[in-house]
């Protein structure tokens, strides 16, 4: 996947962006940080033609690790005028294309909810510490494992105004979150995603209602897992399939969500 970044950038731009736009002067830099001895490296993206402080968006990667896809999404957010930070949830430059390895690394994080939320929160700290983000105007998005991660951030009271989950795992809101979920939640889900059973979806929705959360779930009929990733089919997993229409629609829905979230 590391060798496909040029093609990925082209496909994403063609599939998601439409109409005339001004070319942004997007800059990026690696940011090194750590979590209790684990070395982490995230990537900050911003448009240096913008001088005012602006909303910031944290990006959490899929279970593969912080690969080029997650970085490209952060770059696309910077092109929209946000400051974006692609966080590292695994550390030590761990990225894989092997499902078994990805599953192992993901479970290392998700087995401990406090560690899970702490690791994501450290990424949020790096975004805020950039000095370019307007105070209190921060959101988080995530893909697959990252989608579940941003939901956990909302449940844990992370200082974000909203979160967006793209084809994410759907951890249910714990009982103790009743009346305490401040972040607005947008979930973008494929109806044919066999990784997430209808029972899990129903329980997820019921628990958000019980918690009194402000939430919305858009479900795309016939769409499978990883529907936003042009290379989803390269892994040999039947349930992973790119869907250009769902990709376009979900990205636009995220943009309208942010327009409302960050309105003056």
Whether the per-residue pLDDT at 15 is higher than 90: the answer is no
Q: Are 112 and 41 in contact (CB under 8 A)?
A: no
In percent, the amount of the chain with pLDDT more than 90 equals: 90
Q: What is the pLDDT of residue 66?
A: 98
Model pLDDT for residues 88-141, shown as the tens digit of each residue: 999 999 999 999 999 999 999 999 999 999 999 999 999 999 999 999 999 999
Quickly tell me which residue has 């240096």 as its tokens. 48
Structure tokens at 196: 């997430």
Give the strand pairing for 54-60 and 83-86.
parallel
Q: Is the pLDDT of residue 81 over 60?
A: yes
pLDDT of residue 18: 44
When pLDDT is cut at 50, 70 and 90, the band that residue 264 belongs to is confident
Helices (H) and strands (E) in the chain, counts: 7, 8
CATH code at 2-261: 3.40.50.1820
Per-residue confidence (pLDDT) for residue 20, from 0 to 100: 45
Q: Which of 186, 168, 167 is nearest to 242 (CA)?
A: 167
pLDDT, tens digit, 9 for 90 and up, residues 37-63: 999 999 999 999 999 999 999 999 999
Q: What is the rounded distance in angstroms from the CA atom of residue 135 to the CA atom of residue 65?
A: 29
Task: With a cut of 70, say whether residue 10 has pLDDT above it.
Answer: no
Nearest-CA neighbor of 123 among 257, 2, 32?
32
Rounded distance between C-alpha atoms, residue 57 and residue 54, angstroms: 10
In tens, the pLDDT along 128-185 reads 999 999 999 999 999 999 999 999 999 999 999 999 999 999 999 999 999 999 999 9
Question: Helix (H, G, I), strand (E, B), or coil: what is residue 217?
Answer: strand
- Torsion sign across C-alpha atoms 93, 99, 101, 103: positive
Instruction: Among 3-7, 22-26, 244-248, name the most confident range.
Output: 244-248
Which residues are CB-contacts of 142 (< 8 A; sequence separation ≥ 6)? 59, 60, 61, 148, 149, 150, 163, 164, 165, 166, 168
Tokens 């290392």, residue?
108
Alpha helices (H) along 62-216: 68-79, 99-110, 113-129, 145-155, 198-211
pTM here? 0.91
The pLDDT value recorded for residue 7 is: 42
Q: Where are the domains of the chain?
A: 2-261
């Amino acid at each position: 996947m590391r060798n496909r970044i040029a093609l990925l950038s082209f496909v994403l731009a063609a599939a998601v962006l439409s109409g005339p736009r001004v070319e942004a002067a997007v800059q990026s830099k690696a940011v090194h940080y750590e979590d209790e001895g684990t070395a982490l490296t995230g990537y900050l993206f911003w448009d240096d033609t913008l001088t005012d402080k602006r909303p910031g968006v944290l990006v959490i990667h899929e279970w593969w690790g912080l690969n080029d896809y997650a970085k490209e999404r952060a770059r696309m957010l910077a092109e929209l005028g946000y400051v974006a930070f692609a966080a590292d949830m695994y550390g030590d430059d761990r990225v894989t294309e092997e499902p078994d390895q990805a599953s192992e690394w993901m479970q290392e994080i998700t087995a401990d909810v406090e560690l899970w939320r702490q690791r994501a929160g450290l990424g949020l700290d790096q975004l805020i510490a950039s000095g370019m983000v307007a105070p209190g105007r921060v959101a988080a998005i995530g893909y697959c494992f990252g989608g579940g991660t941003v939901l956990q951030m909302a449940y844990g009271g992370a200082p974000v105004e909203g979160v967006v989950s793209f084809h994410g795992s759907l951890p249910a809101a714990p009982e103790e979150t009743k009346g305490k979920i401040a972040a607005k939640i947008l979930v973008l889900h494929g109806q044919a995603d066999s990784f997430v059973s209808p029972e899990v979806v129903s329980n997820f929705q019921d628990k958000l209602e019980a918690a009194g959360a402000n939430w919305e779930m858009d479900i795309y009929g016939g769409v499978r897992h990883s529907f936003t990733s042009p290379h989803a089919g390269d892994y040999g997993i039947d349930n992973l399939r790119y869907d250009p229409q769902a990709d376009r629609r979900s990205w636009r829905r995220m943009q309208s969500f942010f327009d409302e979230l960050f309105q003056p």
